Amino acid sequence: MTIIETPFRKLLIIEPRIFRDNRGYFYESWNQQVFARAGIPDIFIQDNQSGSSKDVIRGLHFQIPPHEQGKLVRTLAGSVLDVVVDLRRSEPTYGQHFKMVINASGHKMLFIPPGFAHGFLTLEDDTVFAYKCTKAYHAPSERSLRWDDPDLGIDWGIDKPILSDKDKQAALFKGFRSPF
């Protein structure tokens, strides 16, 4: 397994070692010892999975302290454009975003530490997205930022995504006071 650092502190790309043969493939999606050496905590307590058609944006979501979540995300079928926004005020990357394509055939994962807003755009029909969370979902602590916020400047490559009513009502970054 290869752990790749990004320009954002503690935001890590995980590239598993894939073993292929005539039957298919095998890889480790979780290895506590390898992840611990990379600083990924062994405190995942909730697994989530979503299925979506093409052109769906889910996010940009986060939970405020003391219910902030770290996430280990991957795509089980299809592909997504995964996007995170750094909400940690003390970081030089505060307010900046990172994005990458995560697809089922590539098997890459992304570890998102607490203090990031997270969202993704599905690039294919029947996309299945999975994430392990370091804390349980807590509805009163959930917040969202707008996917098309001009101050964030994220190029999603789409003008009219499919959005939930909640995501249509998300807050703008301007005036946002980060609790991180």
Which of 61, 97, 107, 118 does the annotation list as catalytic?
A: 61
Which of 97, 107, 118, 131 does the annotation list as catalytic?
A: 131
pLDDT of residue 42: 82
pLDDT of residue 156: 98
Which residue type, as a one-letter code, is found at position 145?
L
pLDDT at residue 16 is higher than 90: yes
Which residue type, as a one-letter code, is found at position 47?
D
pLDDT digits (tens, 9 = 90+) for 119-141: 999 999 999 999 999 999 999 99
Q: How confident is the model at residue 13 (pLDDT cuts 50, 70, 90)?
A: very high
Which residue do the tokens 């009163």 mark?
140
Annotation says 107 is catalytic: no
pLDDT digits (tens, 9 = 90+) for 93-110: 999 999 999 999 999 999
* HSE (side-chain half, CA atoms, 13 Å) at 85: 25
Annotation says 61 is catalytic: yes
Domain boundaries, the chain: 2-168
Report the alpha-carbon distance of residue 98 to residue 86 in Å, rounded. 8
Nearest alpha carbon to residue 89 among 152, 177, 170: 177
Asked if 13 and 35 touch (Cβ cutoff 8 Å), the reply is: no
Out of 3.40.190.10, 2.60.120.10, 3.40.50.2000, 2.40.37.20, select the CATH number for domain 2-168.
2.60.120.10
Q: What is the pTM of this model?
A: 0.95
